[in-house]
Amino acid sequence: MTRAAIHAQGRRVGLMVLCGPILAGAVVALAGWFAAESWPPSQAMTLVNWLAQVFVIATGICAAVALTGDPLIELHESTPTGFRQVQLLRAGLVALSGLVGAVLMFFPLHALPVWPRDEGWASVASPAGAVVIMIVVALVAAAFAGTAATTTIAVVAAWTFLAMLWDPYVLPLPQQRGIPLIISAGLLVAVWHRLANAERNIAKVVAA
């Protein structure tokens, strides 16, 4: 994958989508800093806990936007690059932005300290892992469904599961992020094989 291809897909995805996770992480860090200065630590941590979830869903929505709505699938499939590599590159760009946003969000709040359930620097795996999970969900939904609406619904459903049902009850960090990431790795294998089918990729555009 050449630098030109990375630049081309970056332009195709759009600056706002690529910068969205970084901006969201910076906003959460800033809000957490204000809360730490003004509120008791317990209240500040509660706010940061919810704002961190907003960062995660914002990253997921950016991934859904980046991975859907491409009218040039047939053109991609006619080149040596192929649509599969295009999608993986776009997902990788959003993932990189999300990981930067997670680091930008976590370390100031860890230093204050108002990061909830802080276990030291290793706790950065919580938002970083959530970013990867959201992007894999968006990639799977885009590969098998293809529509922006379905992909967004899948991202929101995955975020709801993590935020409401998984993270509050699975507290040890290795299990909290390790188990969903192992499942995500399996889903990536399925996506790899699904996107290898050029005829199905093109058929989705024709059907739309």
> pLDDT tens digit string along 58-97?
999 999 999 987 655 555 555 666 788 888 999 999 999 9
The predicted model gives 14-34 an average pLDDT of: 95
Neighbours of 183 (CB within 10 A): 12
The predicted model gives 175-190 an average pLDDT of: 96
Q: Tell me which residue has tokens 């990061």.
A: 115
The predicted model gives 13-36 an average pLDDT of: 95
Encoded amino acid at 105, one letter? M
Task: Tell me the residue range of the domain where 65 lies.
Answer: 3-207
Element (H, E) at 170: none
Output the pLDDT for position 69. 72
Q: Is 70 exceeded by the pLDDT of residue 198?
A: no
Higher pLDDT, 194 or 135: 135
Output the pLDDT for position 83. 80
> pLDDT tens digit string along 150-162?
999 999 999 999 9
Tokens of 130: 């959530």
Output the pLDDT for position 71. 57
Pair 134, 60: CB distance under 8 Å: yes
Output the pLDDT for position 72. 55
Angle, vertex CA 47, rays to CA 23 and CA 159, nearest 5: 65
Sign, CA torsion 185/190/196/199: negative
Neighbours of 133 (CB within 10 A): 25
pLDDT band, residue 7 (cuts 50/70/90): confident
Average of per-residue pLDDT values in the chain: 89
Total structural domains in the chain? Answer: 1
DSSP-derived 3-state class of residue 146: coil
Pair 125, 173: CB distance under 8 Å: yes
Pair 58, 20: CB distance under 8 Å: yes
Output the pLDDT for position 204. 57
